[in-house]
Amino acid sequence: MLKVIDLTRVYGQGAAAHLAIDNASFTVAEGELVTIVGPSGCGKSTLLRCIAGLMTPTSGQVVLNGNLVTQVPDRLAVVFQDYSRSLFPWLTVRENVALPLRRTQRKRHARNQAAESALAAVGLTDAAPRYPWQLSGGMQQRVAIARALACEPVLLLMDEPFGSVDAQTREDLEDLLLLMRAERGITTLLVTHDIDESVYTGDRVIVLTSTPGRIRAEITVDLPQPRDQISTKELRAFSHLRAEVSRLVRGQPAAPASQRADEHGSFGPSARPEPSGIVSPTPTPTPPSGAPSRTCSPPSPRPGQRPRA
Ligand code: ADP
């Protein structure tokens, strides 16, 4: 479905050149929900923008369903963190959701129906005639998600989508995302700096190093589905995965295999390889580090962790 091949992105030139993403390669299978986590400023947004066709890589390729991405592909949806800038305040919620569908051949009535259906999916039927500024932050972000869904995207890209809402709303939106994925099987790539979120929502977590962003590890999250904010996070396996991702994000060595859970309610089948396969850590401290949504399709669990070279 999605292949990112040796993607490098440099900002600026000469002495001012800044290597943001260095030689990143990974794939996302159809229906998979992959999360990308890394320290602030490591190049997560840069990577996502290159994948979305919003930015040209300095070298390397992005291939979506066999086609080289050179501009924003049809039926690709992006949800950004800043819902206040991605929704048009002078349009109603229904109009905001239906807006990108104007690029399609559908008649106005059909566009409005698709918008209503997407709003129903995110629990906002009653909000359709209201304006974004009449809604809470969490509701506005639901509108942004509904707008992405209305396009029936083959690939949904999310850049820190829940970063601007309170903790409770964030959990609700994470669960909404998981529900949408379960119901619609949309292939999703979610960028976050929140380690819990990366593990809770992901089928697989891709960990980036601090700047320049390089892929340090890919970790399969074999936690049971459906996930639940309380019972999933109570699992020993969740704590272990969380700790493992945390170590990797912080540039620390991975835990010895002996310290990992290996029964269910755990990592599932104890097929996780020795951590020696993980790219050797770069023990650097975490350095410090932000457009409207632009638009226009069951994970294949793999046991264990896929180390990166
Ligand atoms: P993240 O999303 O992980 O916080 P970004 O992709 O936003 O990281 O940025 C990666 C690095 O590239 C950072 O060091 C940032 O300062 C730098 N950067 C981002 N955008 C630009 C730009 N337009 N010009 C120069 N440097 C940039």
Question: 227: Cβ–Cβ under 8 A, 6 or more apart, which residues?
Answer: 175, 178, 200, 201
Predicted pLDDT of residue 259: 62
Q: Is residue 261's pLDDT more than 60?
A: no
Q: How far is the CA of 156 from the centre of ligand 1 (A)?
A: 22
Euclidean distance between CA atoms 240 and 260, whole angstroms: 6
Euclidean distance between CA atoms 186 and 173, whole angstroms: 16
CB 287 near ligand 1, within 6 Å: no
Over residues 161-184, the mean pLDDT reads 90
**pLDDT band at residue 300 under the 50/70/90 scheme:** very low
Predicted pLDDT of residue 70: 95
Q: Is the pTM of this model over 0.85?
A: no
The residue with greater pLDDT, 204 or 211, is: 204
Task: Give the chain's mean pLDDT.
Answer: 84
Concatenated DSSP letters of 241-294: HHHHHHHHHTTPPPPPGGGS--STTTTSSS-PPPGGGSPPP---PPP-------
pLDDT for 224-257, tens place per residue?
Answer: 999 999 999 999 999 999 999 999 999 888 776 6
Q: Kindly compute the dihedral angle of the four CA atoms of residues 221, 224, 228, 232, in this order, to the nearest 10 degrees.
A: -70
Predicted pLDDT of residue 260: 57
pLDDT for 147-157, tens place per residue?
Answer: 999 988 999 99
Beta-strand relationship, 187-192 and 2-11:
unpaired
Q: How far is the CA of 56 from the centre of ligand 1 (A)?
A: 14
Query: Which of 7, 11, 78 to mutate to test ligand 1, by most ligand atoms within 8 A of the CB atom?
Result: 11
Q: Is residue 102's pLDDT more than 80?
A: yes
Predicted pLDDT of residue 282: 36
CA-based diameter of the chain, in Å? 60
Nearest to 41 by CA among 66, 3, 11, 84: 11
pLDDT for 113-133, tens place per residue?
Answer: 999 999 998 999 999 999 999
Euclidean distance between CA atoms 121 and 182, whole angstroms: 12
Paired tokens of 57: 């890589």
The residue with greater pLDDT, 256 or 47, is: 47
> Which contacts of 233-241 are long-range, i.e. CB under 8 A and separated by 24 or more positions?
233/196, 233/200, 235/265, 235/266, 236/261, 236/265, 236/266, 237/261, 237/264, 237/265, 237/266, 237/267, 237/268, 238/199, 238/200, 240/266, 240/267, 241/199, 241/205, 241/267
Euclidean distance between CA atoms 86 and 292, whole angstroms: 4
Q: What are phi and psi of 10, to 5 degrees?
A: -115, 135
CB 41 near ligand 1, within 6 Å: yes
**pLDDT band at residue 269 under the 50/70/90 scheme:** very low
Q: What are phi and psi of 174, to 5 degrees?
A: -60, -45
Q: How far is the CA of 46 from the centre of ligand 1 (A)?
A: 6
Nearest CA to ligand 1 atom 22: 11
Question: 100: Cβ–Cβ under 8 A, 6 or more apart, which residues?
Answer: 147, 150, 151, 293, 294, 295, 296
Predicted pLDDT of residue 164: 83
The residue with greater pLDDT, 286 or 142, is: 142
Helices (H), the chain: 44-52, 83-86, 93-98, 108-121, 137-150, 167-184, 195-201, 231-234, 236-249
Which of 121-135, 159-173, 197-211, 293-307 has the least mean pLDDT?
A: 293-307
Cα–Cα distances in angstroms (integers) from residue 230 to residues 171, 227, 262, in the given order: 10, 9, 21
**pLDDT band at residue 272 under the 50/70/90 scheme:** very low
The residue with greater pLDDT, 68 or 266, is: 68
Euclidean distance between CA atoms 59 and 22, whole angstroms: 9
State the closest ligand 1 atom to the C-alpha of 40, by its place in the atom list counted from 1.
4
